[in-house]
A and B are shown apart, each in its own frame.
Chain A
C-alpha cells in the first residue's frame, strides 16, 4: 500500500465517523435541515468551512500550499448547483454521505450510491458534448474572494464575517429543536 492509500483510508474513516456522529448521514435529519426544522447540520457545515479556511491559511503561511481553486463557470456551475440541490433535497444524501451511510447500514444509501455511479457514468459519456457547451464558454476562471477585495487579509475578514453571519442567521431563523 502506498502512503497515499493509507492516508486516504485514514482520512476517510475519520471523516465518515464525524459526519455520522453529527447526524449528517441520516437522510431524515438532512430533510429536517432543508425544511428549516433543525439548524445543526448547516451550522456544522458552515462553521467547519470557516475553521478550515483559517487552518488552510495557516498552512500556507507555514509554506505548505496544496490549494487548487476550481474555476467558476456561470453556465456549468449554475446548472449543476440547481440539479445537485434538487437531488440532495429529494434523497437527503450527498456524494460523500452515501458512502458513510451505506457503511452505517442504510439500504436507501446503497440505492443512492448506485444511482450516483449511473449519473457519473452518464456524465462521463457526455463530457465531450457538455463541457464545451456549458462549461468552457462561461468560464470566469479560478476566482477567489481576494479577487474582489484586493488582498488576502481583507478577503479572509470578509469571508469569516459573511459565513459567521450565515451561521448566526440559521440559528435565529431555523426552528429550534
Chain B
C-alpha cells in the first residue's frame, strides 16, 4: 500500500521549482518568509488579553506582530494547504509512523510525548537563532547569508546523528 502511493509524490525537481516560485512570490509581495515567528504571533495574541503588561514588556513579544499579521496568516494558510493537499491526495497518515513503531512499538503516548519534546526543542532553538528551517535556512540561504548556510549544515548534521541514535537498532530491517 505504502509502496504504491510512493509514485504519486511529486518529483523533487518539479516540487523545488514550485516551492522556489512561491518563495520568490513571497519576497516580491512581502519579504523573507518565516514559520517559527507565527508561533510567537499566536502566543502574543493569546497572552495579550490575559497579561497585557507582560506581552508589552517582554522583548520577544514586543518585536513581533500579533495574530493579525502576514506571519500568522502564513502558518494558518500552511495548515489549510496541508488540509486541502491531504483531502486530494492520500499520503499515508499514521498516528505512529512505521519506522517509529518498529523501534518503539505502537504506543501513541510514547510517540506523542516524543513529538511534544521535539516540537519544544525546534521552536526554542528557532527563537534563539532568529529563525527555523524556513525563516533562517531557506530564506537566509536564498539571500546568500552565512547564518542561514551555517544553520543549515548544523541542523542537517545534528538531525542525521539524532535519527541514527533514535532509530539505529531497526534501521536496516525494512526498505
Which residues from chain A sit less than 8 Å from chain B, CB to CB? 2, 4-23, 25-28, 31-32, 34-37, 40-45, 47-49, 51-53, 55-56, 58-59, 64, 66-73, 76-109, 111-125, 127-128, 130-131, 134-135, 140, 142-148, 155-156, 159, 163, 175, 177
Chain B residue, CB-CB nearest to A139: B147
Q: How many residues of B contact A (CB 8 A)?
A: 123
Known: A53-B144, A90-B162, A104-B83. A123 touches B75 (CB 8 A): no
Binary contact readout B132-175 vs A (1 if CB under 8 angstroms, 0 otherwise)? 11111110111111111111011111111111111100010001
- In the complex, the answer to whether A66 meets B78 with C-beta atoms within 8 Å is no
Min Cβ gap B97→A in Å is 4
- In the complex, the answer to whether B43 meets A121 with C-beta atoms within 8 Å is yes
Q: Give complex CA distance A27, B93 in Å.
A: 10
Known: A80-B126, A95-B126, A147-B146. A36 touches B160 (CB 8 A): yes
Chain A residue, CB-CB nearest to B6: A177
- In the complex, the answer to whether B31 meets A68 with C-beta atoms within 8 Å is yes
Task: Report B-chain residues with C-beta under 8 Å of the C-beta of A145.
Answer: 144, 146, 149
Task: Report A-chain residues with C-beta under 8 Å of the C-beta of B82.
Answer: 16-17, 19-20, 25, 99-104
Min Cβ gap B33→A in Å is 7
Q: Give complex CA distance A80, B33 in Å.
A: 19
- In the complex, the answer to whether B26 meets A118 with C-beta atoms within 8 Å is no
Task: Report A-chain residues with C-beta under 8 Å of the C-beta of B122.
Answer: 84, 87-88, 91, 93-95, 112, 116, 119
Known: A16-B77, A20-B81, A101-B82. A11 touches B22 (CB 8 A): yes
The 8 closest A-B pairs by CB, nearest first: A12-B77, A85-B158, A16-B81, A91-B118, A81-B154, A89-B162, A87-B121, A115-B119
Min Cβ gap B159→A in Å is 4
Q: Give complex CA distance A175, B175 in Å.
A: 10
- In the complex, the answer to whether B97 meets A15 with C-beta atoms within 8 Å is no
B52 at the interface (CB under 8 A from A): no
B1 at the interface (CB under 8 A from A): no
- In the complex, the answer to whether B79 meets A95 with C-beta atoms within 8 Å is no
Q: Give complex CA distance A56, B117 in Å.
A: 35
